[in-house]
Amino acid sequence: MKKLLIATALVALTAGAGLAQTVRMGTEGAYPPYNFINDKGEVDGFERELGDTLCAKAGLTCEWVTNDWDSIIPNLQSGNYDTIIAGMSITDERDKVIDFTQNYIPPAASAYMALTADAKIGDGAVVAAQIGTIQAGYVAESGATLLEFATPDESVAAVKNGEADAVFADKDYLAPIAAESGGALVMLPNDVPLGGGVGMGLRESDTELKATFDAAIQSMKDDGSLNVMIKKWFGEDATTF
């Protein structure tokens, strides 16, 4: 038994030779510019750059993993990865089952996008949103009929093919799509502030890792590098800290 313990201790020591603990970062990979799979097949986007910077600051080795949005919280809990860094807004409901670091994106507006500027969004309208998002929860309570999709891309496609009157999502996600649609899609003017900003999700038992990332995010807020990164990915008009 003692030998076994020594052996495991040795393995643990040699594994940590670079003094680096491996942290598996779970993301969705389908929500540009937050996170997406680039043409090389790697995870890319604001959260990739942010995550890599945070890991470098905290001296951690980070490995990127993609997971369906639907099951992203259960898979964190069962230990398939150690963090969720996937544009996840901090809400009370989620905070009951997982922990969040302090936010790395300030509370930002959600917005509607539709084919025409006079599209209906209230009673009697059909509004698309991604399943399990705060936007889907908001639409369900707004009186409109909610149409849920597994990926954000599919919720946009539903507006294009007329299945839904409008799509409701983070403004930062929709704005580039509307801008590049050549006038086919327009943003509606009524923005809705939702959630407590975007933070990293962690298991409730991982208090140490949470403190590490909290400190790293704080240092990026203090030296202003986080604001620079937000502007780089979300444009000059983006809300910063």
Binding site for another protein (CB under 8 A): 8, 11-12, 15, 21-24, 29-30, 32-33, 36-42, 45, 61, 63-65, 67, 74, 77-80, 82, 97, 151, 153-154, 156-157, 160, 176-177, 180, 203-205
DSSP letters spanning 32-57: TTTEEE-TTSSEESHHHHHHHHHHHH
CB nearer to another protein: give 80 or 239: 80
Give me 101's structure tokens. Answer: 């670091």
CB of 8 to another protein, least distance (A): 6
Alpha-carbon distance 218 to 10, whole Å?
34
CB nearer to another protein: give 12 or 117: 12
Are 135 and 191 spatial neighbours (Cβ–Cβ below 8 Å)?
no
CB of 142 to another protein, least distance (A): 25
CB nearer to another protein: give 104 or 233: 233
Give me 43's structure tokens. Answer: 């995870």
CB nearer to another protein: give 99 or 165: 99
Are 200 and 55 spatial neighbours (Cβ–Cβ below 8 Å)?
no
Q: Are strands 166-170 and 109-114 parallel, antiparallel or unpaired?
A: antiparallel
CB of 175 to another protein, least distance (A): 10
CB of 239 to another protein, least distance (A): 19
